[in-house]
Amino acid sequence: MFEVVGGFKIAYALILIILIIMNNKLRNFLAGIGSVLAIMPTGSVAQVKNPNQRSDCDNLRGDWERVGSYLHSSLKKSNNEQQKKNSR
């Protein structure tokens, strides 16, 4: 490379080390940005669907039907307890 004279050898070596470290950090930073961009593809993505799997709409309907049955049974139980309490 370059010929360095006298006491400048250490300073020159430190500057080279700093430049190498900065270059590695910049390379890692750019690789990180690239990996983030790779998460969101630009083209269309094929959706694979299992024909035996229920749709989201069917799953939500089933969830709300169960919630309704839980509320119904809780209200029925509460009414029965209230009637027992009033009959005493």
- CA pair distance 37, 50, nearest whole angstrom: 29
DSSP states of the chain: -----TTHHHHHHHHHHHHHHHHHHHHHHHHHHHHHHHHS-SS--PPP--TTSPPHHHHHHHHHHHHHHHHHHHHHHHHHHHHHHHH-
As a whole number of Å, the CA-based R_g of the chain is: 35
Domain boundaries, the chain: 1-39, 56-88
Q: What integer pLDDT is reported at residue 16 of this predicted model?
A: 73
Phi, psi of 84, rounded to the nearest 5 degrees? -65, -40
Over its length of 88 residues, how does the chain's per-residue pLDDT go in tens digits? 455 555 567 776 777 777 777 777 777 776 776 666 666 556 666 666 777 778 888 899 999 999 999 999 999 999 999 998 888 7
Q: What integer pLDDT is reported at residue 75 of this predicted model?
A: 95
